[in-house]
């Protein structure tokens, strides 16, 4: 049985991966989770702009598309991630479900997994971290990744620790693209391969083989 533990953790960084919360995280995010026994998610940081905390990238007929959650920061630029809320629910809810369905309806494993994700959207979410946590739980279950995951009880200062990926997994930072082997994506007949999209792309296209792909990426990251 898959065991997932979400709780508040002490800020002891030894041998634990440090991540930000993320909206349908990318392949790299889950490959890194595979490398560590424990995962700490920092929810006490000051919420930064234009990151994967409230966006993801999927592949459409026109190429990669960013799905962005509209958020509200109650304390302006000093707002902590744990306090950030979501607004304009009906608009983003409909736009994101339609975009995901349009992008992946012809993928090999769409019918096997789409209900898992549509079920998430059926609920009303006010808090960004709550939504992202539910998404993470479902994705880990689908990928059969068994990890202890906890939330920081305070902000962890940035000190370039090799286990800290809060700010390096970012749309503004290019990943090591050699870590991502090509697989057949929807619309591969008209586009080059796009690596490191939301793990949704991996799940809908590879299904049960998605975990093996993540293990391969993790090995390449470890040996790079």
What pLDDT does residue 58 have? Answer: 98
| Percent of the chain predicted with pLDDT > 90 | 71
What pLDDT does residue 122 have? Answer: 82
Long-range contacts of 87-96 (CB under 8 A, 24+ apart): 89/124, 89/125, 92/68, 93/121, 95/67, 96/67, 96/121
What pLDDT does residue 212 have? Answer: 96
Please name which of 109, 114, 103 lies closest in space to residue 62, comparing C-alpha atoms.
103
What pLDDT does residue 82 have? Answer: 97
What pLDDT does residue 124 have? Answer: 86
What pLDDT does residue 8 have? Answer: 60
Cβ distance 109 to 203 under 8 Å? yes
Residues of the chain with pLDDT under 50: 1-5, 14
């Amino acid at each position: 049985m898959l065991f997932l533990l979400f709780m508040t953790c002490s800020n002891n960084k030894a041998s634990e991966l440090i991540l930000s919360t993320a909206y349908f995280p990318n392949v790299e995010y889950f490959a890194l989770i595979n490398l560590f026994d424990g995962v700490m998610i920092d929810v006490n940081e000051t919420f930064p702009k234009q990151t994967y905390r409230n966006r993801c990238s999927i592949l459409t007929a026109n190429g990669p598309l960013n799905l962005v959650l509209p958020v509200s920061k109650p304390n302006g630029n000093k707002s902590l991630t744990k306090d950030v809320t979501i607004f304009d629910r009906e608009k983003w809810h409909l736009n994101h479900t339609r975009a995901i369905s349009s992008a992946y309806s012809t993928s090999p494993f769409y019918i096997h997994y789409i209900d898992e994700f549509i079920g998430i959207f059926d609920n009303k979410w006010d808090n960004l971290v709550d939504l992202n946590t539910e998404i993470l739980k479902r994705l880990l279950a689908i990928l059969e990744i068994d990890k202890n995951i906890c939330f920081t009880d305070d902000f962890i200062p940035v000190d370039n620790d090799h286990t800290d990926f809060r700010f390096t997994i970012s749309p503004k930072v290019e990943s090591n693209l050699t870590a991502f082997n090509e697989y057949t994506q929807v619309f591969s007949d008209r586009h080059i391969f796009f690596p490191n999209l939301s793990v949704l792309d991996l799940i809908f296209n590879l299904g049960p083989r998605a975990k093996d792909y993540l293990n391969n990426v993790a090995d390449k990251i470890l040996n790079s």
